Amino acid sequence: MEEKNQAPASKAETLSIKSSPVGLDIGTSRIVIADSPVNSDIRSQMNAFVAVPCSEMAENVLKQRGMVYERNCKNIYVYGNDTDFFASFLDTDARRPMHSGLLNPQEEMSQHIMQRIIQLLVPRAKRNEVLCFSVPGKGEGANGNLVYHEAVLKNFLQSLGYNAKAINEGQAVVFSELQDENFTGIGISFGGGMCNVSVSFMSMPMITFSVPKSGDYIDRNVVEVMGERNSTKVRLFKEENLDLSRQPKDDMTRAMHIFYEDVLQTLIERLRAEFKRSSQLPKVDRPMPIVLAGGTAKPAGFLQKFESMLRAGGEFPIEISDVRMAKDPLTTTANGCYIAAMSESK
Ligand SMILES: Nc1ncnc2c1ncn2[C@@H]1O[C@H](COP(=O)(O)OP(=O)(O)OP(=O)(O)O)[C@@H](O)[C@H]1O
Ligand SMILES: [Mg+2]
């Protein structure tokens, strides 16, 4: 009854409704969207695809299963979350639009497929809403191609009607996890293609960098030393079984431990070197926290391994208060981008 008496919103009121910001994590392995303050609303798609020659039969299988696909005159492309199923159905490896955190120059379909995957998650903007998307920091192999990667994605997101802004991935981890510390601390994302780090003071990134080694590097090397054929199988084994707190009992797990340690060693050495090199860091009056995020940080025992390797290297250039895991390592970057987009929208 009350509803009947309410006056409809005036035009001025309608126009003043706050536009809703979007956070988008454009990762080598997965693309993740956060477009509401509710963490459970975060959605993702795998950043991968499979191409098969056009045939009635293949298309019928896809239609029956309600899978997302696209066809041109030569091929059918299955992309996003249906990729793993279709790749194992065909006993083949998926193709990847990104490599080591950036558009994959060896993949001719990279931009086209990524646009399709992004469109599965991101609707057209209504009123030039702010959309913050993640980009990696500079590093070995990420320089000019980083400028290109960022510009291509920004153009595409602008073509969907957004006010698109790039956010460093390590800084997104800080935005998501270090609100109570005034956004002061070290955010690290251990992703598929790379590790990204930001050392932030009062929400300002003072040191940012990337290391082109992470989950894919571990998979690739385990495949090679174990003489395996199928890297999807190795990745799924890692995601389902790996526990870094236990002594490995088989060769595959032993190899995984070795390459995990290799990734961590490289990252920690680089972090030390960056602090030593950096001359104009502001003085902090209290020890800094470190937050770990990203899919590669998911296995049990990862935090303990990181801490013990950090300590094993001797005194660290700055005082660390604690090392902790992000609340949900797979959605941290998207959440941080959403928080950045919210503050830009105010
Ligand atoms: N439970 C798990 N155990 C181990 N590894 C995992 C687990 N879940 C995901 N991964 C690995 O995490 C990586 C993907 O992580 P994430 O989604 O954070 O990467 P991304 O953001 O797509 O990549 P990047 O940030 O490097 O561009 C893959 O290598 C995947 O195999
Ligand atoms: Mg990532």
The share of the chain scoring above pLDDT 90, in percent, equals 74
- Cα-to-centroid distance, 73 and ligand 2 (Å): 34
Residue 19's pLDDT is: 65
| C-alpha 235 – ligand 1 centre gap (Å) | 10
- pLDDT of residue 211 exceeding 70, the answer is yes
Which residues, in sequence order, are CB contacts of 145 under 8 Å at separation 6+? 102, 103, 105
- Report how far residue 54's alpha carbon sits from residue 73's, in angstroms, rounded to the nearest whole number: 7
Query: In the prediction, which pLDDT does 314 show?
Result: 85
pLDDT one-digit tens code per residue, 243-260: 999 999 999 999 999 999
In terms of Cα–Cα distance, which of 156, 145, 132 is closest to 104?
A: 145
Ligand 1 atom 2, closest CA: 239
Q: Provide CATH code, domain 124-345.
A: 3.30.420.40
pLDDT band at 61 (very low <50, low <70, confident <90, very high): confident
In this structure, the dihedral spanned by the alpha carbons of residues 190, 192, 195 and 198, taken in order and rounded to 10 degrees, is -70
Which residues, 6 or more positions from 233, have their beta carbon under 8 angstroms from its beta carbon? none
| Sheet strands side by side (includes 30-34) | 43-46, 30-34, 22-26, 130-135, 163-168
Distance from residue 288's CA to the centre of ligand 2 (Å): 22
Ligand 1-lining residues (CB < 6 angstroms): 25, 27-30, 101, 169, 189, 191-194, 214-216, 235, 238-239, 242, 294-296, 298-299, 330
As beta bridge partners, residue 26 has 31
Which one of 238, 245, 328, 331 would you pick to mutate in the ligand 1 pocket, going by the greatest count of ligand atoms within 8 A of its CB? 238
Residue 9 confidence (pLDDT): 39
- Is the pLDDT assigned to residue 6 strictly greater than 60? no
Q: Give the residue, out of 26, 28, 305, with the most ligand 1 atoms within 8 A of its beta carbon, to mutate for a pocket test.
A: 28
Distance from C-alpha of 208 to C-alpha of 198, rounded to nearest angstrom: 4
List the alpha helices (DSSP H) in 178-331: 215-226, 231-241, 251-277, 302-312
How far, in Å, CA of 317 to CA of 223, rounded?
36
Tell which atom from ligand 1 comes closest to the C-alpha of 98.
Answer: 27
Cβ neighbour number for residue 89 with a 10 Å cutoff: 15
